[in-house]
Structure 1
Amino acid sequence: MTSVIRPGIGQTGAMRVALCQIEVGDDPKENLDRIVGAIAEAGDADLAVFPEASQVRFGNVLAEAAEPLDGPFVTAVRAAAREHGTAVLVGVFEPAPDGRVYNTVVGIEATGEIAGSYRKLHLFDAFGDHESQHVAAGDRPVVLDLAGTRIGVITCYDVRFPELARELVDRGAEILAIPAAWAQGVFKEEHWTTLVRARAIENTTWVVAVDKAPDRTRPPKGAPGGVGRSRLIDPMGVVLTDLGPHARIQVMELDPALTEKVREFLPSLSHRRRDVL
């Protein structure tokens, strides 16, 4: 099939973003099929955003599924991105030198080229979970030049650390993308919806927050993950869509010009007291 390459946000002024709230199970092949199918279903979207750990759900032996970014899993996603002319952000696992894995979000251009990747900085050693037993932490924030814009990547538990979002905006991020596999639990859904909205409001920026669909079965180890509720939030904190608790793909339009308009009458970023903070 002929590749379809469309201009990105910098050329058209508008961006179509697909929030891909897919189910993620224990079989990487089935998960890959869901990803490829979702990219096709996203149609003419400029960017498709998938959850954290879309390769295989937590609770499995992550090191057995982990691959380098030139391995077959990401290569297949790159082929789908190229075929449909859609840039992709997707969560995978890379081998780490100490036998653990990196929890990585890879950015793939509509040409199929890898734009870059981000390794999760803050590991979920909370609520009785111990992500750091199996996952090695990354060592730097990342802003990707992807789909004609600059996207700062925040992975799941990272969203609880507002200084990361602010650093990404300071580095020129125009959109914050938050892929997640948010663990289920008491107050967890409320935390998710509150935190992703707060990151938009305090930074007067767009937020694309994509969680996986809730687990229908218990994983091999650990608590079920995914609360759904993937959201597109504008720079004023308006929630333009909320995907609810079921597997769903929705394409929404994002207007980058709104950011500048909001910052004209709400210039909170320029009011920061850098002399004391």
Structure 2
Amino acid sequence: MKIASVQVDIKDEETKEQRIERVSAKLDELEGQDLIVLPEIWATGYFSFDKYTQEAEEINGSFVKHFSEKAKKLGAYLHAGSFVEKEGDKFFNTSILFNREGQLVGTSRKIHLFRYGSAEGEILTRGLKPAVLDTEFGKIGLSTCYDLRFPELFRSQVDQGAKIFLVTSAWPHQRLAHWNLFNTARALENQCFLISSNCSGKTNNVLMGGHSQVVDPWGTVIASAGEFETIVKTEINLEQIDDIRYVFPQLKHRVL
């Protein structure tokens, strides 16, 4: 299974439309990949809270339609990151996953809204249900940035059959050590593959952490980015999940 995690620089001088155009051109270079992952609220910019409501879109809006077409063109599963979704008078941090035909497999509304130096919790409404989606690769669990700090969410997804975690994020450099730790821990403790995509660059005076990565079920980082915009590519063998769970059956040994 060929994986590509796209790490996107968030530049304050770029408009949403310009960034979508630039990133779309990068995606055009990724034909032949099976799964592509993008960061959290990368088009608007996570820390551009003043733009959230004005750039929000409904689930059938232009952002979703554009990346539906892109997934179909690439013939790949595309996790287009998250965007600010408008539904009625509420706003959500919503992740979207498309299949190879460009069909929307499902969505995930961020459950744990970040409130430490962030206005996200004041503007947005949290999601209520952990997302586990059926794909040709098996069940995939979706989560967003701050969700990574809550192991119960990931264990809930494993209990629903998830074997792959996709994490879209806008994690700052200030807490990079935590980011690296949680990527490894969530994969290791659940014996799953974890693919994360984080933002890079500096936006609204916040330096982003980068270091998008792919972690295997042993907790080994098999591919990782640095601090700058790049694309992390690697291949994973999904049989490794069941092999590891057979040899070291920790999930069967749970008593709580």
TM-score by length of 1: 0.86
Distance, in Å, in 1 between the alignment partners of 2:88 and 2:249 is 44
Which amino acid in 2 is paired with 1:54? W
Q: List per-residue Cα deviations over 1:8-43 (Å, max 9, x = no partner).
A: xxxxxxx11111111234521122113322321222
Residues 42 and 250 in structure 1, CA contact (< 8 A), matched pair in contact too: no
The answer as to whether partners of 2:94 and 2:110 remain within 8 angstroms in 1 is yes
Of residues 150, 164, 168, the one that matches 1:175 is 164
Alpha-carbon separation, structure 1, partners of 2:242 and 2:185: 18
Tell me, what secondary structure is at the counterpart of 1:168?
A: helix
Superposition CA RMSD, Å:
1.5
- Please name the residue that 1:97 is paired with: 88
Please identify runs of 4+ aligned residues in structure 1 that moved more than 3 A: 96-99
2:189 to 202, 207, 223: 202
Cα distance in 2 between the residues matched to 1:180 and 1:32: 17
- Tell me how far 1:103 sits from its aligned partner: 0.3
In 2, the alpha carbon distance for the partners of 1:34 and 1:136 equals 29
Please give the residue correspondences for 1:13-162 in structure 2 after superposition, counting only pairs within 5 Å: 15-25=1-11, 26-58=14-46, 59=48, 60-90=50-80, 91-99=82-90, 101-126=91-116, 128-162=117-151
1:192 aligns with 2:182: no
Corresponding pairs, count: 251
Say whether the 8 Å CA contact 1:67–1:95 is kept in structure 2: yes
User: What residue in structure 2 maps to residue 248 of structure 1?
Assistant: 230
Matched residues in 1 for 2:42 and 2:178: separation? 21
1:153-200, Cα deviation, whole Å (9 max, x unpaired):
110000000000000011111101111001332xx0000000110001
TM-score when normalising by structure 2: 0.93
Q: Higher strand share goes to which structure?
A: 2
Please identify, of 194-203 and 89-98, the stretch whose mean Cα deviation from structure 2 is larger: 89-98
**Is the partner of 1:89 in helix, strand or coil?**
strand
Q: CA deviation at 1:143?
A: 0.7
- Structure 2 CA distance for partners of 1:146 and 1:33, relative to 1, 3 Å: farther
Unaligned runs of 5+ in 2: none
Change (3 A) 1:86 1:35: farther
SS at match of 2:130: coil
Contact 1:96/1:136, CA 8 A, preserved across alignment: no
Say which SS state the counterpart of residue 72 (structure 2) adopts.
helix
The amino acid of 1:196's aligned partner reads N
1:6 corresponding residue in structure 2: none
**How far does residue 147 in structure 1 lie from its aligned partner after superposition?**
4.8
Unaligned runs of 5+ in 1: 1-14
